[in-house]
Amino acid sequence: MSEPELSHAGLNLGDTGELTQDQAENAIFGFWIFLMSDAVIFALLFATYGTMIASTVGGPTPASEFKLLPAFVETLLLLTSSATFGRATIAMKYDEPRRVLFGWLGATLGLGLVFLALEANDFATMFAHCAYPMRSGFLSSFFALVGLHGLHVAVACFWLVVMVGQVCAYGLDARVRINLLRLGLFWHLLDIVWIAIFSVVYLQGNIG
Amino acid sequence: MSDRTRELRTYAIGYGLSLVLTVAAFAMVRWPSFGARAIFGIVLALGLIQMAVQFRCFLHISFKRSSRHDLQLILFSALIIALMVSGTLVILFNLRGRMMG
């Protein structure tokens, strides 16, 4: 079983009628550089969170605010949405019927929106306990980190809607295919950032 | 085996492994059986493994077949991240120890 050489991150489409492997390679590599710089931003917010975790000023603490069950459900939602996006990219690569592509993209969008709704519900519950960003260094860094991730997911959901519009308007031409691949990388990377969030924020807050 | 079957299988393997690693990490915290530090260490290790699984299966980064510099860029970013995060933590924990201790 010899696998073809990969030329860029994400699912490689190979040479389709619309798009050559070289075009995709250049277009995806630029976006990959952006994603890595985004990862550095998140890493520094993690460092900030790590230094602020004890700075609760007598207010809400990680143990009092973080519940395991919602975090677990959110994790499953985001992980499943990453897998359904992968399935959508395969549907695009092999030119499966449009409704299959839209079905998987729709499932991904639905999972992303439910994730955002649960996260908004978590934040609302925290606000109800007076756990708002201005309360302490711990809460400022928590909302900067998890809030920025939520904002990324919201942007990705909006981008997904735009992509469905582009597929309807232009069909799967070279530009649309590259944009879908880029969105796929973005979506998968958001799930990787979430792994760090549930480990460092939610699980650490519930240990002990 | 066709390309499509192999790619579907890659995503399925990635999803299955990620599920197992996620459930294991949450189970470690939900039903603690070690000390707090050991549990946190295991959770971090499981998280790192899951990141590697997703880079491999969802983002298709591998050690041997990537002709471009995706992997080098990840490793360079990881180096920058490790330096900045560990440097920040060491300096500020040290500062807190000296100020509050």
Total of domains in chain B = 2
Q: pLDDT exceeding 90 applies to what percent of chain A?
A: 65
Question: How would CATH label the architecture of A21-206?
Answer: Up-down Bundle (1.20)
User: Average pLDDT of A50-79?
Assistant: 91
- Return the number of CB contacts < 8 Å for A and B: 145
Listed in sequence order, the residues at least 6 apart from A122 whose beta carbon sits closer than 8 Å to its beta carbon are A67, A70, A74
Residues B32 and B56 in one domain: yes
Q: What's the confidence (pLDDT) of residue A29?
A: 86
> In angstroms, what separates the C-alpha of A168 from chain B's closest C-alpha?
24
Give residue B65's pLDDT: 58
**Tens digits of per-residue pLDDT, B7-18?**
899 999 999 999
Residue of chain B whose Cα is closest to the Cα of A45:
B85
Q: Encode burial over A64-78: b for 16+ CB neighbours within 10 A, e otherwise.
A: ebbeeeebbebbbbb
What pLDDT is stored for residue A130 in this prediction? 87
pLDDT tens by residue, A101-157: 999 999 999 999 999 999 999 999 999 988 889 999 999 999 999 999 999 999 999
Average per-residue pLDDT for chain B: 88
Work out the number of other CB atoms within 10 angstroms of the CB of residue B98.
8
- In this prediction, does ipTM exceed 0.85? yes
Interchain contact, A50 vs B55, CB within 8 Å:
no
CA distance A191 to A195: 6
Shared domain for B6 and B54, answered yes or no, is yes
What pLDDT shows up at residue A5?
A: 64
Mean pLDDT of all residues in B36-56: 93
Would you call B69 and A93 a contact, using CB atoms and an 8 Å cutoff?
Answer: no
Q: Is B54 in the same domain as B74?
A: no
pLDDT over 80 (residue B89):
yes
Taking the Cβ of residue A41 and every Cβ of chain B, the question of whether any pair is shorter than 8 Å is answered with no
Q: Taking all residues of chain A, what is their mean pLDDT, rounded to a whole number? A: 90
Co-location of B51 and B74 in the same domain: no
pLDDT at A147: 96
Query: Burial letters for A120-142: b for 16+ Cβ neighbours within 10 Å, e otherwise?
Result: eebbeebeeeebbeebbbbbbbb
Give which of B31, B39, B68, B74 to mutate to test A binding, by max A Cβ within 10 Å. Answer: B68
Contact map slice: A 118-177 vs B, CB within 8 A: none
Tell me the nearest-neighbour CA distance from A32 into chain B, angstroms. Answer: 7
Taking the CA of residue B53 and the nearest CA in chain A, the distance in Å comes to 10
Q: What was the pLDDT predicted at A3?
A: 56
The sign of the dihedral angle between the CA atoms of B77, B8, B18, A46 is positive
**Which range marks the domain in which residue B83 is found?**
66-101
pLDDT at position A8, please?
80
What's the pLDDT score for residue A2? 45
B55/B98 same-domain check: no
When scoring A21, A66, A199 by the number of chain B Cβ atoms within 10 A, the one with the most, hence best to mutate, is: A199
Q: What is the distance in angstroms between the Cα of A25 and the nearest Cα belonging to chain B?
A: 8
pLDDT in tens, A84-114: 999 999 999 888 889 999 999 999 999 999 9
Of the partner residues A8, A94, A208, the one whose CB lies closest to the CB of residue B70: A8
Is B19–A79 a contact, with Cβ atoms under 8 angstroms apart?
yes
Residue from B44, B70, B74 whose CB has the most chain A CBs within 10 Å, to mutate? B70
Domain ranges of chain A: 21-206
**Quick one: B55 and B27 in the same domain?**
yes
Q: Which pair of structure tokens corresponds to residue A88?
A: 């959508």
- From CA A109, how far away is CA A106, in angstroms rounded? 5
As a whole number of Å, the end-to-end CA separation of chain B is: 63
